[in-house]
């Protein structure tokens, strides 16, 4: 059993900053890619940023230069620093992890979602 538990998020004014964190726990042998996705009102879930176990990261064009993803492999955590937030960043943010558990292959796991609301 693998759990991803998110923390952070909330309400912020446009131009402000927020930090999201996500911790993985359970029978984890190895974590490959970790990332953040979001789903805005009436929209499909979209990629925000991903980070490989090597530290190599990838960002959606809409957040480049404003968001920073990081991870701590020893603690099995991934974080998303969000700055210069815009109303269009309002969404439920989900962390994800590509996890190998003992005795199985890799599977994708998801956090419970954290609401981020940016007021204009």
pLDDT tens for residues 16-62?
999 999 999 999 999 999 999 999 999 999 999 999 999 999 999 99
| Local confidence band at 111 (pLDDT 50, 70, 90 cut-offs) | very high
In the numeric block, which tokens belong to residue 37?
Answer: 């996705």
pLDDT at 1 over 90: no
pLDDT tens figures, 47-106: 999 999 999 999 999 999 999 999 999 999 999 999 999 999 999 999 999 999 988 889
């Amino acid at each position: 059993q693998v759990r991803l538990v998110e923390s952070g998020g909330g309400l912020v004014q446009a131009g402000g900053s927020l930090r999201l964190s996500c911790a993985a726990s359970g029978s984890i042998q190895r974590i490959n890619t970790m990332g953040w996705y979001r789903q805005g009102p009436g929209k499909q879930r979209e990629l925000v940023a991903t980070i490989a176990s090597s530290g190599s990261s990838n960002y959606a064009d809409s957040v480049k230069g404003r968001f920073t993803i990081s991870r701590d492999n020893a603690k099995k955590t991934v974080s998303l620093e969000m700055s210069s937030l815009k109303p269009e960043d309002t969404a439920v943010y989900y962390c994800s992890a590509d996890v190998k558990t003992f005795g199985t292959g890799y599977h994708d796991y998801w956090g419970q979602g954290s609401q981020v609301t940016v007021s204009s």
